[in-house]
Amino acid sequence: AEEVLRNSEKLSVAGQLAAGIAHEIRNPMTAIKGFIQLMNRDKEFSSRLKYFDIILKEISRIELIISELLILAKPQDVRVTQADITSLIEEVAVLLQTQAILNNVTIETEFENNAQLIFCEKNQIKQVCINFIKNAIEAMPKGGLLRIKVSNVNDKGINIQFIDQGFGIPSNLLKKLGEPFYTTKEKGTGLGFMVSKKIIENHGGSLTVQSEENKGTTVEVFLPLQRSSEVDTNTHNLMEN
């Protein structure tokens, strides 16, 4: 069963604006980047201008922010299908394996069922898993164990738990999670949590975070098995709340 959701007319003004700005900035940005790279290769320029590295680094940063915003700004690509969440998680874990190894992090998966079908927009749910796994790895600079557990919730849905042994989140900062641009990282965008939360809510699911400083963090995602008629994987309400 595959279904293509049409461009939503429910896009909030803020959401439309964010999507539009992201699209509009990307093209001139690509042109600027190209010319800077050309100038960098030109000896006459590169000997006189010593700031190419900084310029290119900042452009990469803008590209990263735009691509995170665009995840929610592409309603035309939205396809809700029945997908096996356990193989989706295995795929994502393989994708992030090198990053985990480089950080001395072991990823362990624990699935109650071998296959677990849910109705979802596969790429969006992948993005959610990538976000939470990356955050977990980044929270364990000295390495550690990341457990990903998938279990049933009655016949209603599934729980995906991302359990890390990282430095945790102080309780007074828990409420900041999901605020756009809230980050404690030098190279962070502070958009991963907001985008993930929005995606999960648009699937009719929910997100909870438990954390203890210097012990670790558990991020728990609930996703319903059935896609209710209310579910809307489009981008309305982006940037609201």
Nearest to 231, CA basis, from 40, 8, 26 = 8
Q: Tokens for 193?
A: 């949590």
**Which partner in ligand ADP, Mg ion, none is near 232 (CB below 5 to 8 A by kind)?**
none
* Piece of 11-19, 39-47, 93-101, 189-197 that binds ligand ADP (CB under 6 A): 189-197
Amino acid at 161: Q
Please report the beta strands in 79-143, taking only residues with DSSP state E, as ranges in sequence order: 79-84, 105-111, 117-121
Q: Does 182 interact with ligand ADP (rule: CB under 6 A)?
A: yes
Give phi and psi for 42, each to the nearest 5: -80, 115
For ligand ADP (CB under 6 A), the number of binding residues is 21
Query: Whose Cβ is closer to ligand ADP: residue 19's or residue 219's?
Result: 219
Kindly state the smallest distance separating residue 174's Cβ from ligand ADP, in Å: 9
Residue where the block lists tokens 């909870």: 208
Picking from 138, 84, 121, 95, the residue whose alpha carbon sits closest to that of residue 195 is 121
Q: Does 160 bind ligand ADP (CB under 6 A)?
A: no
* Half-sphere exposure for 207 (CA within 13 Å, toward CB): 21
Please tell me the distance from the alpha carbon of residue 233 to that of residue 241, in angstroms, as a whole number: 17
Stretch that binds ligand ADP, among 22-30, 69-77, 114-122, 180-188 (CB under 6 A): 180-188
217 part of the interface to Mg ion, by CB under 5 A: no
| Pick 130 or 239: Cβ nearer Mg ion | 130
Q: Which of residues 157 and 216 has its CB atom nearest to ligand ADP in the complex?
A: 216
* Residues of span 133-152 touching Mg ion by CB under 5 A: 135
Q: Can you give the C-alpha Rg of the chain in angstroms?
A: 20
Note the residues at the interface with Mg ion (CB under 5 A).
135, 192
Note the residues at the interface with ligand ADP (CB under 6 A).
131, 135-136, 139, 164, 166-169, 177, 182-185, 188-193, 217
